[in-house]
Amino acid sequence: MSSQAELYEVIEDYYGWFLIVIKGDIVKVIRKELNWFIIEKDGKVGKVPAQNLRPYSTHTPQQSQSLIARLKQSEILDQTEEVSVTPFEEDVKYEDFEIDHKFFGGAMGKTFLVKYKPSGELYVMKRGLKWFDLFGPSLKELICIQSLNTRVWELFAQIILAVNFMHSVGVIHRDIKPENIFIMEDGSARLGDFGLSLALNDKYYATRAGTRNYMGPEVLMQGKMYFSSDIYALGIVIYEFLTGKHPFMAQQQDQDIVSNIKQGKYADIPEWIPADLSKLIFKMIDIV
């Protein structure tokens, strides 16, 4: 494991929940782990798969040290400023943005990774209902402020309490996914979009509904949803919060993800995730 700052070039895009890097970006690696590097980009720190980076050698050693010094100075300036989320001051139009990547959508609207053409900066755009707070703090921005693992524990505790309350009154959510978890002004999490929720009453299962990529194998193969189906979906969400990737991710996306879910073929939980959190996720998405 290395702790000396080095410059690396991004050779493959990585769309994490907490840090986005694009091919060609030059980033500072502040710590190396087996499969993941902890990097700094634009004053923000996050984890990126080691395979997405390569040593940056275009600069001479003197130039590289100068660039690292400037990055450190930028960090100091960032620490003196308060973190805030503000809307665009100038008028912007939909055509000012170029859609780069579509995330999984839902009943509350569709979510996209977009590039603002005038500046080239990346944003997450949600096309939702009129009352949706477009300028509220995003999950990504809030988590970057604090320790990742601590913040995920906080969010998990709040979400699982909401799920527990629903289950205690006999209601199953049926569509738990990142797009249906909302971050409030005070930083707390809220579970939303109850359009597919259903009271089980005297039944012990509900018919299938929701987003396939967050359904358990028993749901996909039998068409039945149980209280445990919500827990399974939340396990996938927590994994995504931590790694920026779906645990059953495949090359061809949707259909292969479904196939992996049915077969129980999920990616290894990264070693940097604490053992207790790793064990929790494993229990939530492992169907015996």
Catalytic residues: 175
| DSSP code at position 78 | H
| DSSP code at position 106 | B
DSSP, collapsed to helix, strand or coil, labels residue 9 as strand
Written as one letter, the residue type at 86 is T
- Please give the C-alpha separations between residue 238 and each of 63, 168, 233, in angstroms, as whole numbers: 40, 22, 9
CA atoms within 13 A on the CB side of 153: 11
Q: Helices 148-168 and 227-243 meet at what angle, rounded to 10?
A: 170
Question: E strand or H helix at 199, and its extent?
Answer: strand 198-199
Flag whether 52 is marked binding.
Answer: no
Residue identified by tokens 């249906």 is 180
Flag whether 100 is marked binding.
Answer: no
Tell which phi-psi region holds residue 262, choosing left (phi > 0), alpha (psi between -120 and 50) or beta: alpha
Cross-strand pairs, 123? 114
User: What is the spatial distance between Cα 248 and Cα 225, in angstroms, rounded to a whole number?
Assistant: 19
Which of 51, 7, 3, 31 has its CA nearest to residue 245? 51
Question: E strand or H helix at 190, and its extent?
Answer: strand 189-191
Tell me whether strands 189-191 and 181-183 are parallel, antiparallel or unpaired: antiparallel
Flag whether 180 is marked binding.
Answer: yes
Burial class (CB in 10 A: 0-12, 13-18, 19+), 100: middle
Question: Could you tell me which residues are annotated as the binding site for ATP?
Answer: 179-180, 193
Question: Could you tell me which residues are annotated as the binding site?
Answer: 179-180, 193
